[in-house]
Amino acid sequence: MIHLQDLTKYYDDFCAVNQISLDIRKGEILGLLGPNGAGKTTTLRMLTGFLRPTSGTIRIKDYSIDDNLLEIKTLLGYLPESAPLYHEMLVFDYLNYVANIRGIGKDRKTDRIRELADLCAVNEVMHKPIGQLSKGYKQRVGLAHAMMNDPEILILDEPTSGLDPNQIIEIRDIIKEIGKTKTVIVSTHILSEVEATCNRVVIMNQGKVVADGATESLRQGGKDEYAVDISLLEADLESVRRELGTLAEVTGIEVVPDGNMDNENVLHVRLNCRSSTDIRGEIYRKIKQKDWVLVEFHLEKQSLESIFRQLTKEN
């Protein structure tokens, strides 16, 4: 549905987006993940036609961004990080104003505003000035604005930035509901946001795509690196490092504070491993040979957070 080919954007001598290529399928909820300055917002602004690429192509359905910008904009709904709202207007008046701009006829307009009020959960604030709303409600009003023309593609730039935990959950639920019938692109640097709402992840760093795939497939792609957490009673750190550090697959041993352990004599350590096989059997045999009392022993799967750190570190 969306095809980006060698998309590049320079600001003078600075390359914000460097030859990225993506195909986004209909019905996906795609998380565009990356640290601040990775090029996420610039990519979205080019995708919506707000910025012209320095080079590369953008095609949405059968339209080119260069030749069919107006047709493309009718397919898109866009919510920037700070929703552009008129704070002195009542919520209903504002949505009515947006409906008029979008050319929605009188016979359809009232029903559409009611549908969006239900979807975005703003019924109870429809007759309040936007300036008096919490940031969470302002985001919902902005979302209703972006959805007014019933777009096939919804683009959200940092939709939960600055919201409290309850508001974040509410916005996530709305996004997942919208994603049942729309293609949704969510730009964020919050890992939990992607895991909670998206079925595909694209990680950007320094203007480039460094990973692309389903969350679980990204984890499996890094399966040669994992950690084993163990808790030992009456064991000292130096002995543990000396004995378990001899295993070729163990790349590092670190102490992990564990608030769940009431006994101060329990040593909780993490063994960072690099191996295509599970070496827990070898670790257990070493522990048994030393007669350490094993309190806890489990495999820590590679998380999206650890993958993100690996892919976005400076060097």
The two tokens of residue 313 are: 């570190």
Per-residue DSSP letter, 90: B
The owner of tokens 């690196």 is 225
In whole angstroms, give the CA distance from residue 178 to residue 19: 30
Give the end of a domain, one of 198, 219, 240: 219
What's the pLDDT score for residue 220?
A: 61
pLDDT-based confidence at 303, cuts 50/70/90?
low
The residue with tokens 């040593």 is 267
Q: 232 and 192, same structural domain?
A: no
Domain CATH for 168: 3.40.50.300
Q: Give me 142's structure tokens.
A: 């902005």
| pLDDT for position 189 | 81
Q: Please give the residue that has the higher pLDDT: either 221 or 49.
A: 49
Predicted pLDDT at 162: 80
Looking at the fold, whether 228 and 307 belong to one and the same domain comes out as yes
pLDDT value of position 315: 42
Does residue 148 sit in the same domain as residue 265? Answer: no
Answer for the pair 21, 5: CB distance below 8 angstroms, yes or no. Answer: yes
Say if residue 91's pLDDT is above 90. yes
Q: What pLDDT does 219 receive?
A: 63
Find the domain containing 306 and state its range.
Answer: 222-312
| Weakest mean pLDDT among 102-106, 128-132, 178-182, 253-257 | 253-257
Task: Determine the length of the chain.
Answer: 315
Specify the pLDDT at position 188.
86
Mean pLDDT of 151-170: 88
Q: Which residue has the tokens 């992990």?
A: 256
Question: What is the Cα–Cα distance from 93 to 188, expressed in whole angstroms?
Answer: 30
User: Residue for token digits 């029903």?
Assistant: 111
For residues 22 and 150, state if they share a domain. yes
Question: Measured between alpha carbons, how far is 202 from 52 in angstroms, rounded to an integer?
Answer: 22
Place of tokens 């993490």: 270
Task: Determine how β-strand 29-33 pairs with β-strand 183-188.
Answer: parallel
Q: Is the pLDDT of residue 19 over 80?
A: yes
Nearest to 179 by CA among 161, 156, 162, 157: 156
Of the listed ranges 95-109, 190-204, 235-249, 297-311, the one predicted with least confidence: 297-311
Q: 137 and 91: one domain?
A: yes
Query: In this predicted structure, what is the pLDDT of residue 221?
Result: 59
Half-sphere exposure of 248 (CA within 13 A, CB side): 3
Q: Are residues 159 and 210 in the same domain?
A: yes
Alpha-carbon gap, residue 245 to 228, rounded angstroms: 13
Q: pLDDT tens digits, residue range 212-267?
A: 888 766 766 555 778 889 999 878 899 999 999 999 889 889 888 764 555 678 89
Question: What value does the mean pLDDT take over residues 198-215?
Answer: 89
**Shared-domain flag, residues 126 and 244:** no
Of 112, 154, 130, nearest to 28 by C-alpha is 154
**Residues 100 and 142 both lie in one domain:** yes
Please indicate whether residue 204 or residue 191 has the higher confidence score (pLDDT). 204
Domain endpoint, select from 162, 186, 219: 219
Average pLDDT over residues 119-142: 93
209 and 229 assigned to the same domain: no
Quick one: average pLDDT of 42-53?
93
Q: For residues 9-19, b (16+ Cβ closer than 10 Å) or e, as one string?
A: beeeeebbbbe
Q: How far apart are CA 148 and CA 298, in angstroms?
A: 49
Q: Are both 129 and 231 inside the same structural domain?
A: no
Total structural domains within the chain: 2
